[in-house]
Homo-oligomer: A and B are copies of this chain.
Amino acid sequence: MRGYTSDKDAVLKRLRRVEGQVRGLQRMVEGDEYCIDVLTQIAAATKALQAVSLNLLDEHLKHCVADALAEGGEGADAKVREASEAIARLVRS
């Protein structure tokens, strides 16, 4: 996130919304709401988290990875490898 202040507020806003969704899920479970409805809301919260991930990854490629590649050398390879591993975790989560 280093210095990506333009996006930081947007990311925080999205995360606060996810927090609200997760609290809403607790109220649904406490109120014995129908489990299919709970599942639908969990899917919505999961998609919201995924959107944050994709946003962060895009920023990461545009800034950290781009800077490392501009500098070249071993640091560049390491950054690409690290990004690829993060993508793999994202795809499998």
Chain A contacts with B in 4-45, Cβ cutoff 8 A = 4, 8, 11-12, 15-16, 18-19, 22-23, 25-26, 28-30, 32-36, 38-40, 42-43, 45
- Chief secondary structure at chain A's binding surface: helix
Q: Is the Cβ of B15 less than 8 Å from the Cβ of A54?
A: no
Q: Which of B15, B40, B90 contacts A22 (CB 8 A)?
A: B15
Q: Which residues of B contact A84 (CB under 8 A)?
A: 54, 57-58, 61
Q: How large is the interface on A (under 10, 10 to 19, 20 to 34, 35 or more residues)?
A: 35 or more
Q: Is the Cβ of B61 less than 8 Å from the Cβ of A80?
A: yes
Q: Is the Cβ of A89 less than 8 Å from the Cβ of B15?
A: no
Q: Is the Cβ of B42 less than 8 Å from the Cβ of A53?
A: yes
Q: Is the Cβ of A40 less than 8 Å from the Cβ of B86?
A: yes
Q: Which of B26, B30, B56, B69 contacts A35 (CB 8 A)?
A: B56
